A and B are shown apart, each in its own frame.
Chain A
Amino acid sequence: MSTPTTTQTIRPAGAGHETLYVLLFCALVLLVAGAVVSWRGETTETSEVAAHQFDARRDLTAGEQGVYADLRVTLEEIQLRQQEEQRLPTPAELDAEGYAPFARDASAVSRGGHTWQLLEGGAYLGLSQASEVAGSFLMRLGAQPDSPADIWLNRSTDLTAPHDLSDAALSAAGWQQVVAQFDAGVTRQHRH
């Protein structure tokens, strides 16, 4: 007597669905994480300067950065003098009182040895003796002590004093405006 054999196929409990579910779950986690990152993330865009401008931090040589920083500091003193005396101090006066970059010291020599002159129309022009170290600088001041001033740079070797001090004329003559950006506390959390 033979016992009837019965064959029963037993499918795995999940019937292969576990893999699918795990993969789906992984996809879900990735989606959620991606959504959170794109929602909370900060863009790393840096503000670009215009074509006729130089960024003081990235586009200047070490010598130029030094001269530019000094010009900005001396500008404040020049504006105070302009207020008090109703005239602009000459480069010779600034040199005598030790105001960099007008002062002719060892540092001025190693940073391009600029020769400074005061132009008609209220601008200081510093022609560089070594353009590969630092280009020539032009600092424009307004007629009034509180009018905005700016600083321009030109790395050409054979430069003469510009007659027209307007933006367009300076750009055409190869001058580029130097701009400094203040990124306060990139490393700190803003309270504002």
Chain B
Amino acid sequence: MSISSFLVNRRRILAGVLALCLTPLAHAEEAKRLRIGITLHPYYSYVANIVGDKAEVVPLIPAGFNPHAYEPRAEDIKRIGTLDVVVLNGVGHDDFADRMIEASEKPGVATIEANANVPLLAATGIAARGAGKVVNPHTFLSISASIAQVNNIARELGKLDPANAKAYTANARAYGKRLRQLRAEALAKLTSAPNADLRVATVHAAYDYLLREFGLEVTAVVEPAHGIEPSPSQLKKTINQLRDLDVKVIFSELDFPSTYVDTIQRESGVRLYPLSHISYGDYSAEKYEKEMTSNLDTVVRAIQEAGA
């Protein structure tokens, strides 16, 4: 083979390789799917159900990290550069996302405030500082507040992706209907309303929104902050408080068990019921419905066993 024909061949091969590389890019441009970033597990389920196969949902933090104690890593920040929009809890459960977005290649990436339309409750315990302005960020642990967020996310996504806006609204309504059904099924198991005197406490200040759906109010919260165990003196104070207030039921954490909770049970005689914070394990579209079903069942069981 002469040198010139070798060069010609080489050019052809290069052109072929280039064409092969560019073809998928051209296709991607034709049907551009949004890449939507999310920060917490429930938001993965919400967005996955809203968009179906019309967009891609990308968790900002990998599965297995506790969002209460997460510190951003370089590769997670890098990923933000590939996103079109980030859906935020925005009321205190994903404060790390702002810093990550700011440090990323796309500091101006669009964000959706999922809780913009949700009536928020004030934070309790140690978080209740700042003249009542700090709110309880666990809106995702409630059916009503979840439907409000799903509708809100669908509306905002529709503005960014008008071609699919109708599909997003329809999917959001169908998902909302399923969530409402979950609550209806749980409530149907209660033959009568919870006893008005039923006093409940929680280990972590996360379940106010959920319990409010049953008309229950949280009387006491055990942990000073998430995952921080109370000191022996705090524990003693809590046990006395539970006795004084005649608390019958305490909701603990399913995924973050602590031995001191057993001490509380032994000393105060309350019944323990573990609830899921839905922030543990793999991301999946069904996760929210699955874990909320078990949360709702747990609350129903607690109400029944308390003799409501």
Contacts and interface: CB of A to CB of B under 8 A. Distances in A.
| B is bound to A | yes
Contacts of B173: 77, 80
Contacts of B148: 69, 72-73, 76
Contacts of A182: 113, 115-118, 120
Interface stretch (B13-21, B70-78, B192-200, B262-270): B192-200
B181 A184 contact: no
B213 A66 contact: yes
Interface stretch (A95-103, A152-160, A169-177): A95-103
A184 B99 CA distance: 15
Interface in A51-82: 56-58, 62-63, 65-66, 68-70, 72-73, 76-77, 80
B132 A46 contact: yes
A18 interface: no
Interface stretch (B30-38, B182-190, B220-228): B182-190
A9 interface: no
A69 B118 contact: yes
Contacts of A189: 98-99
Contact of A106 (B193, B196, B217): B193
A139 to B, nearest CB: 13
B194 A106 contact: yes
Interface in B67-98: 90-92, 95, 98
B257 interface: no
B134 A187 contact: yes
Interface stretch (A30-38, A85-93, A107-115, A140-148): A107-115
Most buried by B among A76, A183, A185: A185
A149 to B, nearest CB: 12
**How many of chain A's residues touch chain B, expressed as a range?**
35 or more
Nearest to A190: B98
A165 to B, nearest CB: 22
A17 interface: no
Contacts, number: 129
B269 to A, nearest CB: 24
Interface string B118-145: 1111100000001111110000001011
B180 A98 contact: yes
A184 B92 CA distance: 8
Nearest to A70: B144
Contact of B193 (A80, A99, A110, A188): A110
A191 B102 contact: yes
B147 interface: yes
A57 B132 contact: yes
Given A73-B148, A185-B90, A56 B119 contact: yes
19 contacts: A44-B130, A58-B122, A65-B119, A73-B144, A73-B145, A76-B148, A76-B151, A77-B173, A77-B176, A105-B187, A106-B194, A109-B193, A110-B196, A111-B215, A133-B215, A182-B116, A182-B117, A183-B91, A183-B120
